[in-house]
A and B are shown apart, each in its own frame.
Chain A
Amino acid sequence: MSATVSRWREPSVLPGFGLALGITLTALSLIVLIPLAALFLKAASAGPADIWAVATSPRTLAALRLSFFGALFAATVNAVFGLILAWVLVRYEFPGRRLIDAAVDLPFALPTAVAGIALAAIYAPNGWVGGLLAPYDIKVAYTPLGAMVALIFIGLPFVVRTVQPVLEELPADIEEAAALLGASRWRTVFQVLLPPVLPALMTGFVLAFARAVGEYGSVIFIAGNVPMVSEIAPLLIVIRLEQFDYAGAAVVATLMLLLSFALILLVNLVQARARRRFGNV
């Protein structure tokens, strides 16, 4: 018995492994794994023809396109501004820095529905920002652009929080070395300081993307939810569910999960390659 145990776990004098692992696996299975398996089972039970019909219906495709490209766009915006924000927070001293540092996490703490109605109010044509844009015929709320605004909001902390610690730990000597070797500031920043930050930036990007692609609460208030135009994939799932089309809902949900898992896996592979090569000198 003990021989079979030690093959998959290293011996330890600490107690409680069985109990802890038992609780974890039971809860994980009941709450997460079995329900997710039920989802795939339900989707599969629809049969290939139906799955294909749902998956290729224009409405599904439009919703998936908005969710994915919207999330990609929002994650990109967050990567750019998150990097600037992290840089500013780590390297500069200015009044209110600590307050801003703390405020960055607001999207983690603020319920999405609250964020949704607040963003809708601001970016509506009669809102504070929407009113400023209205004369130029730019509509944000109740358009796909509105969905992006909400996705940027909820993904905002991810890049900042993954990049910040890496920037903090960048050794001062590589910066000094570059300057002594005659590099301009521009060159030092882009060739010496930012490349080591790239893996963290990518992690932040993926986290922001993963969060945005499935986001529901904040988007539905501001997006307008017009089918084929501003309807996101999670909303389509809810609509199918309300029509008691369980299989349809399950197929859309499965497609979403598979697409986002594939993307996350891809980025992780790229990152693992980078890690192997550059290591931690």
Chain B
Amino acid sequence: MSDASLPLQAEDLEPVRAARRISGESRLVQWLLVAISLAFLCLFLFLPLITVFVEAGARGWQAYREAILEPDALAAIRLTLLVAAIAVPFNIVIGIAAAWAIAKFEFRGKSLLTSFIDLPFSVSPVISGLVFVLLFGAQGYFGPWLKANDIQIVFALPGIVLATIFVTFPFVARELIPHMQSLGSAEEETALTLGASPWRTFLTVTLPNVKWSLFYGVLLCNARAMGEFGAVAVVSGKIRGLTNTMPLHVEILYNEYMGAAAFAVASLLAGLALVTLALKTLLEWHFADAIAASRRH
């Protein structure tokens, strides 16, 4: 249709819409499909989300406040923030390094490296925690040595951080790689020929170009880091007030039949999810082009 007899804007829209009008489904079928979709989403998406907030408020504002401000809950919130504050920057550095190597250079074993980076996505979270217990647990490969030197990794902050980094490892890289690939290297090469240092080139040319997809990756990485359950559950030991993250705290409260309190803490995490979703959607609307290339998970 590159030479259609319309102005450009109309050209972009019309053919599809025309096809739909001429040969689309009947109104009844359309209505039916929309209804099926909505019913499916209600059953599996909207109801659970609403439930979290309804149950959280079931015992009133006072109970909600208490559940959140209770010392163990506060400790869990602090730990969750701390873990994310370590794991996310770490993954940003790794993600940028990996994306730079993979997107800007051609080398053998590149596709293998790419699939290795994606590997944690196809590993069960429980296994992601298990591997660190096998390495650093009391009966693990490095267990005796760690004990002798009085270093604790499993059932402590380092284990939680390691497990969190494992499960969030691919997020930043896989947003950056397709974007950097689609941008090519011409701008960097220009900057270098103009005499910019490598660092300056990276900071003033590469980074500004990919900042939104970087932010996008960080957003998803952070959501997963704060919400990770399975991997952290295995390595944390679930010591209240010490190695309990927010999701683990939710589990403990729930198992102790303190449903309202569990949902109160859960509502904070659900709130985080909604903020993440809102920012993500905003990014997708405003920077559609930059992110389009990487919008598959």
**So, do A and B actually touch in the complex, CB under 8 Å?**
yes
Residues of A near B198 (CB, < 8 A) are 15-16
Which A residues, 86 to 126, have Cβ-Cβ distances below 8 Å to chain B? 87-89, 91-92, 94, 100, 102-115, 117-119, 121-122
Quick check: is B175 within 8 A (CB to CB) of the other chain? no
Tell whether, in the assembled complex, residue A105 and residue B280 are in contact, meaning their CB atoms are under 8 Å apart.
yes
Tell whether, in the assembled complex, residue A10 and residue B105 are in contact, meaning their CB atoms are under 8 Å apart.
yes
Q: How large is the interface on B (under 10, 10 to 19, 20 to 34, 35 or more residues)?
A: 35 or more
Residue interface bits A182-199, CB-to-B below 8 A is 1, else 0: 000100110000000000
**Distance in Å: Cβ of A265 to nearest Cβ of chain B:** 11
Quick check: is A215 within 8 A (CB to CB) of the other chain? yes
Quick check: is A260 within 8 A (CB to CB) of the other chain? yes
Tell whether, in the assembled complex, residue B93 and residue A23 are in contact, meaning their CB atoms are under 8 Å apart.
yes
Tell whether, in the assembled complex, residue B101 and residue A20 are in contact, meaning their CB atoms are under 8 Å apart.
yes
Quick check: is A142 within 8 A (CB to CB) of the other chain? no
Tell whether, in the assembled complex, residue A31 and residue B169 are in contact, meaning their CB atoms are under 8 Å apart.
yes
Cα-based distance from A153 to B251 in the complex (angstroms): 19
Residues of A near B26 (CB, < 8 A) are 185
Tell whether, in the assembled complex, residue B296 and residue A111 are in contact, meaning their CB atoms are under 8 Å apart.
no
Interface centre among B23, B44, B93, B263 (most CB of A within 10 A): B44
Question: Given the known A-B contacts A24-B94, A121-B51, are A250 and B130 also in contact in the complex, defined by CB atoms under 8 Å?
Answer: yes
Residue interface bits A27-64, CB-to-B below 8 A is 1, else 0: 11001111110110110000000000000000000000
Which B residues, 67 to 94, have Cβ-Cβ distances below 8 Å to chain A? 90, 93-94
Q: How large is the interface on A (under 10, 10 to 19, 20 to 34, 35 or more residues)?
A: 35 or more
Quick check: is B43 within 8 A (CB to CB) of the other chain? yes
Residues of B near A136 (CB, < 8 A) are none
Residues of B near A109 (CB, < 8 A) are 220, 223, 227, 272-274, 276-277, 280
Question: Given the known A-B contacts A81-B37, A214-B123, A234-B124, are A102 and B220 also in contact in the complex, defined by CB atoms under 8 Å?
Answer: no
Residues of B near A17 (CB, < 8 A) are 100-101, 104-105, 107
Cα-based distance from A185 to B26 in the complex (angstroms): 9
Residues of B near A8 (CB, < 8 A) are 107-109
Tell whether, in the assembled complex, residue B123 and residue A165 are in contact, meaning their CB atoms are under 8 Å apart.
no
Cα-based distance from A88 to B18 in the complex (angstroms): 17
Tell whether, in the assembled complex, residue B19 and residue A176 are in contact, meaning their CB atoms are under 8 Å apart.
yes
Known: A16-B202, A241-B133. 6 other contacts (CB 8 A): A9-B105, A13-B192, A85-B40, A117-B250, A241-B234, A253-B130
